[in-house]
Chains A and B, each alone.
Chain A
Amino acid sequence: MADLTTDFVGIKSPNPFWLASAPPTDKEYNVRRAFEAGWGGVVWKTLGLDPHIVNVNGPRYGVVYGADRRVLGINNIELITDRPLKTNLEEIARVKKDYPDRAIVTSLMVPCEEWAWKEILPQVEDTGCDGIELNFGCPHGMSERGMGSAVGQVPEYIQMVAEWCKANTDMPVIVKLTPNITDIRYPARAAKAGGADAVSLINTVSSITSVNLDTMSPEPSIDGKGSHGGYCGQAVKPIALNMVAEIARDQETAGLPISGIGGVTTWRDAAEFLALGAGNVQVCTAAMVYGFGIIKELNAGLSGWMDDKGYASVAEVTGRAVPNVTDWQYLNLNYITKARIDQDACIKCGRCFAACEDTSHQAISMSEDRVFDVIDEECVACNLCIDVCPVEGCITMEELQPGDVDKRTGRVVEAEYANWTTHPNNPAAKAAE
C-alpha cells in the first residue's frame, strides 16, 4: 500500500487531500464531519477582522452544466467568513485539539497594513493551528476593499505582506494566488521573495456564468442585478494545471512548495497536479457538489494508482511531469504522426469528417457507403478528429519512423531531434551547435 501521508512545509497530514478555504471549511460542524469522513486537512474559511463582513441574502452561486445537469463549473459571489473572528478562532482551537493528526491551516485576509496582521496573527497562533494561508485571491467583493485579488495582482504587495507575516509569526506561511493575472510567475516570485514557505493556487477565476435572457440580469441575480463572481470546479482545472506547472518549472521559484487547487474532482486530477509539481491538493467544488464522501474515492484511487506504478510515497510523484513541460519552440518538429482510423471500431458518425473537412485540413475522405479514411497527403496530425470521435481509441496517432516518407511534405522522416530554434523558416534561427 502506497503511503499517502504528506509533510507540506512541515504540516503533516494523513493524505494529500485538504479542503480548500470555502464553505466546506466554514465552521466547526463542517470540519468535524470532513475529518470524520477522512479528509487529511482543511484550510479554514478565510478570517478577517471584526466587524465581520456580510454576504448577500439572495443566491450566491451561478453554474455551468454539462450533459445530464452535471456541474462543470460554479461561480460564487460569497465573501470571506461572515461570522465574528472570536467564534472562528474558538472553533479552530477546539477542532485542532480533537484532531491533532489532521492539518488545519487558517486562511486570512485583513487590510494591507502591518498593524492589522500584527493584530490577527497572534490570535491565530493561539488556536494551535498548523499554518496560515494568505488569501490574495478572491476576485469579488473583497478586492473592491483593497484586499484579496487587489493585493494578489500587485507582486510588490504580496512580497510586503508575506514579509510582515514571516516577521510576526512562526507558523508556516502559504500565499494563495489569484489566476486573474497575465503571468502567474510574477506573484509566485514575489511570494518567494517575501519569504513565504509555499504558494497555493488557484483561487477562483473572474467570471459571469450566464445571463438571464428574460430579465437581462447576470446570474446569480440579486434583485435584478448581478456582479462578476469567481469561477471554480472542473472547468478551471486546465488553467490551474498550467499555472502550477509554470511555477514549478520557473528557475526562480523551482522547488517552492505548491498546494494545487482548481477543479480537483477525482484522484486522477489530483495525481496530475502532483505530477506537475504540487505537494498536495485542495478541493472545494467537488466536495460542494458531491459531499465529503468523495474522499474515499480520492484516497483509494490515488493509492491504487501509486501501487500500480510503484510509487511508494506522494513525494515520489510530486514533480514527475515537470521536466516534460517545455516551451513550444523546443518541441521536436521531426516527430511526425498520422491519424489512423480503426474501421472495426468506427461507428460511421462522420464527425471526424465534418471537423476535418470544414475546419481543418480536408484530410478525411468519406465514401458513398460511409467509410472514413485518412488522406496521408493532407493530414497534419492536428488531433481534432481524435478529439471529436465519440468512440474512444477508434482514431489513434501513428508515429512515422525515421526513413518513412511523410506523404504530405514528401520528405523522409529524420531520426534527429530538431526544433523551431534551428528551423530555416525562423528568422531568428541559430545554427545548430
Chain B
Amino acid sequence: MTNSPRTPGVVSGRLSDEALAQNFSDLHPPYDGHEAMVAADRCYFCHDAPCVTACPTTIDIPLFIRQIQAGSPEGAAKTILDQNILGGMCARVCPTETLCEEACVREAAEGKPVEIGRLQRHATDSLMAKGIHPYDRAEATGKRVAVVGAGPAGLACAHRLAMKGHDVVLFDARPKPGGLNEYGIASYKTVGGFAQAEVDWLMQIGGIETVYDHRLGEGDLTLTGLAETYDAVFLGIGLAGVNALSAPGTETDNVLDAVGFIADLRQADDLSSLSVGRSVVVIGGGMTAVDAAVQSKLLGADEVTMVYRRDRAAMAASGFEQDLAASKGVRLMFNAQPVAVHGNGAVREVEFEHTESGPEGLSGTGETFRIAADQVFLAIGQTLEGAPEGLEIERGKIKVDPSGRTSLAKVWAGGDCATGGDDLTVTAVAEGRDAAEDIHQTLTA
C-alpha cells in the first residue's frame, strides 16, 4: 500500500490488499444449510403466488422453496433452471427488492420478504457444486441458428435452442462470453469468477459452437450473411454505446464513461493496480451510476458524490441500491444537472445547476454550485450501437414483437438491445428463452 484515500489525484493502491479483499467480497454471502432451511420455512407456499408473477422468468418460487425445505436443493435448482438457465447469476444480481421479493406477501405483511434470491442461490450453487447439468439435447433437427452476443440473452437463447436439438453458433465481439455478467455487474455481486463458471456449466449442454472476438458488422460477419447461411439468427448484442454529456469540458482528462471503468475493474487481476480519484463525482441515477460510485469508494476514493438530475423517487436505482451506496459512504445528491467540467488538462471541478420539474419537464433554476473532482464517471445511459442495417428501430432499440421477432424475416432479438422489458439480466434471459421457443416453433413447423 503506497497511497491512502487522501492521496491527491488519480492513483492506485489506496487501500491494503486485505481491505480490498474485504470490500470486494460477497455482498450477500451464501447461506449455510441451516440458514437456508430457516429462510425456506418462512415461505407460505402461496396459491398462484404473487412472487412468481413478479419474476420476469416466471420461476415457480413456492415450489423450489418447498423443495429446499424438503431437503432437495438440487431438485429446487432444476425447477429454477427450467425457467431461467442463468438462475445462478440472477440469484446474485436481480434487484429482488423490485421484483419477486417486493411482491412477496411477507413483504406486505411484515416488511421482511422471504429471501427468494438467496434461496435461489443456495439451490443453484448446490447443483453446480455437484457438477450436475440436468438437461440433455433432443434429437438433432439439422437446423443451424446463429446467436450474436454471448450475454444473458444470447446464452439463454443458445441453451434453449441446443436443448431442442438445433446446432448453435454463438458469436461475440469480446474475447470472453457472459456479456455484462462478465464485464458489467458489480464485483461484489458475483465473486469468485462465477460468470465464467456459469457459462462453462451452461455449455455442458453441447451443440453450441463459440466464436469470440468476432463483431457483427466487422469483416465478413454481417446480418445478411448470417441470415443466408443459417436457418435463423438471434441478436442479443446489448447496448454497446454510452450517452455522451453535452456540457463543455467533457474532453478533459479523467472524465470517463462508467461502464468502461467497471469493465476494467471486473477484468483486473489485481485490484490494487487500479487507479481511482481522491474525489470522485458520478453523474447518473441508475444501477451503473451506483455501481461506479460504490466501487470507487471500495477502491479507496476519499469522497464519492453521485449526482442525479431528478429527485430520489425518479431514480432508476432501487431503494436498496441507494441505501447500499449510502452505507458505503457515497453521498447522494438530487435535482442537479452538470453544466460544465472545469480543469486545466485534468478535471478539477464539476459545475452543476439545481433543477426543478415543472409542467414542461425538467428545467434549471439558474443557481449553480461546484463539486471538487479529480475523476468523473458518466453513467447517463447506454445506447444501442452497431445495430445492423435494415432493422426497424423504435426508441433506440431493435423493434420486436412479444416473441422476439424483428422486422426482418429469420431474425429475432432480445435483451437490452430489443424493445420490451427492463434492462435487467433476468429480463434478457426471459427474452432469449422465449425467442428460442419461437425460433424452434418456426423451424419445426
Chain A residues within CB distance 8 Å of chain B: 67-69, 347-351, 353-354, 366, 370, 390-391
Among A67, A348, A351, contact of B45 (Cβ-Cβ < 8 Å): A351
B47 contacts A354, CB within 8 Å? Answer: yes
Among A67, A68, A69, A350, contact of B46 (Cβ-Cβ < 8 Å): A350
Considering only residues 87-126 of chain B, those with a C-beta below 8 Å from chain A are 105-106, 108-109
Closest to A391 in B: B109
- Residues of A near B48 (CB, < 8 A) are 350, 366, 370
> Chain A's nearest CB lies how many Å from the CB of B48?
6
Q: Does B351 contact A (CB under 8 A)?
A: no
Considering only residues 14-51 of chain B, those with a C-beta below 8 Å from chain A are 34, 37-38, 41, 44-50
Given contacts A370-B50, A391-B109, contact A349 B44 (CB under 8 A): yes
Q: Which 4 A-B pairs have the closest CB atoms?
A: A350-B47, A354-B47, A67-B41, A347-B109
- Residues of A near B34 (CB, < 8 A) are 69
Given contacts A68-B38, A68-B41, contact A347 B105 (CB under 8 A): yes
Docked Cα-Cα span, A68 to B47, in Å, equals 24
10 contacts between A and B (CB under 8 A): A67-B41, A68-B37, A68-B38, A347-B109, A349-B46, A349-B47, A349-B105, A351-B46, A354-B47, A390-B44
Among B38, B47, B106, contact of A347 (Cβ-Cβ < 8 Å): B106
B38 contacts A351, CB within 8 Å? Answer: no
B108 contacts A348, CB within 8 Å? Answer: yes
- Residues of B near A391 (CB, < 8 A) are 109
Docked Cα-Cα span, A349 to B47, in Å, equals 6
- Residues of B near A348 (CB, < 8 A) are 50, 105, 108
Closest to A389 in B: B44
Given contacts A69-B34, A354-B47, A370-B50, contact A347 B41 (CB under 8 A): no
Docked Cα-Cα span, A349 to B34, in Å, equals 25
Docked Cα-Cα span, A366 to B46, in Å, equals 13
- Residues of B near A390 (CB, < 8 A) are 44, 109
Closest to B42 in A: A67
Closest to A394 in B: B109
* Size bracket, chain B contacts: 10 to 19
Given contacts A347-B108, A347-B109, A348-B105, contact A353 B41 (CB under 8 A): no
Docked Cα-Cα span, A138 to B34, in Å, equals 34
> Chain A's nearest CB lies how many Å from the CB of B403?
25
> Chain A's nearest CB lies how many Å from the CB of B329?
35
- Residues of B near A351 (CB, < 8 A) are 44-47
Docked Cα-Cα span, A349 to B49, in Å, equals 7
- Residues of B near A69 (CB, < 8 A) are 34, 37
> Chain B's nearest CB lies how many Å from the CB of A365?
12
Number of A-B contacts (CB under 8 A): 35
Closest to B103 in A: A348
Closest to A354 in B: B47
Of B41, B45, B47, B50, most buried by chain A (CB within 10 Å of CB) is B47
- Residues of A near B109 (CB, < 8 A) are 347, 390-391
Docked Cα-Cα span, A353 to B50, in Å, equals 14
- Residues of B near A370 (CB, < 8 A) are 48, 50
- Residues of B near A349 (CB, < 8 A) are 44, 46-47, 105
Docked Cα-Cα span, A350 to B43, in Å, equals 13
> Chain B's nearest CB lies how many Å from the CB of A203?
31
Closest to B69 in A: A67
- Residues of A near B41 (CB, < 8 A) are 67-68
Docked Cα-Cα span, A68 to B35, in Å, equals 8
> Chain B's nearest CB lies how many Å from the CB of A219?
15
Q: A68-B41, A351-B46, A366-B47 provided; 20 other pairs, C-beta below 8 A?
A: A67-B38, A67-B41, A68-B38, A69-B34, A69-B37, A347-B105, A347-B106, A347-B108, A348-B105, A349-B44, A349-B47, A350-B46, A351-B44, A351-B45, A351-B47, A353-B47, A354-B47, A370-B48, A370-B50, A391-B109
Docked Cα-Cα span, A350 to B46, in Å, equals 6
- Residues of B near A68 (CB, < 8 A) are 37-38, 41
Of A68, A347, A349, A390, most buried by chain B (CB within 10 Å of CB) is A349
> Chain B's nearest CB lies how many Å from the CB of A366?
8
Docked Cα-Cα span, A370 to B105, in Å, equals 11
> Chain B's nearest CB lies how many Å from the CB of A15?
35
Docked Cα-Cα span, A391 to B105, in Å, equals 11
Docked Cα-Cα span, A348 to B37, in Å, equals 24
- Residues of A near B49 (CB, < 8 A) are 350
> Chain B's nearest CB lies how many Å from the CB of A425?
35
> Chain A's nearest CB lies how many Å from the CB of B317?
28
Docked Cα-Cα span, A347 to B45, in Å, equals 13
Docked Cα-Cα span, A351 to B43, in Å, equals 11
> Chain A's nearest CB lies how many Å from the CB of B83?
20
> Chain B's nearest CB lies how many Å from the CB of A370?
7
> Chain A's nearest CB lies how many Å from the CB of B170?
41
Closest to A388 in B: B44
> Chain B's nearest CB lies how many Å from the CB of A66?
9
> Chain B's nearest CB lies how many Å from the CB of A209?
16
Docked Cα-Cα span, A289 to B47, in Å, equals 35
Of A348, A353, A354, most buried by chain B (CB within 10 Å of CB) is A348
Docked Cα-Cα span, A351 to B108, in Å, equals 15
- Residues of A near B44 (CB, < 8 A) are 349, 351, 390
- Residues of A near B38 (CB, < 8 A) are 67-68
> Chain A's nearest CB lies how many Å from the CB of B101?
14
Docked Cα-Cα span, A347 to B51, in Å, equals 13
- Residues of B near A347 (CB, < 8 A) are 105-106, 108-109
> Chain A's nearest CB lies how many Å from the CB of B216?
44
- Residues of A near B50 (CB, < 8 A) are 348, 370
Closest to A355 in B: B47
- Residues of B near A354 (CB, < 8 A) are 47
Closest to B45 in A: A351
> Chain B's nearest CB lies how many Å from the CB of A367?
11
Docked Cα-Cα span, A366 to B48, in Å, equals 10
> Chain A's nearest CB lies how many Å from the CB of B35?
10
- Residues of B near A67 (CB, < 8 A) are 38, 41
> Chain A's nearest CB lies how many Å from the CB of B253?
55
- Residues of A near B46 (CB, < 8 A) are 349-351
Docked Cα-Cα span, A68 to B40, in Å, equals 10
Closest to A358 in B: B47
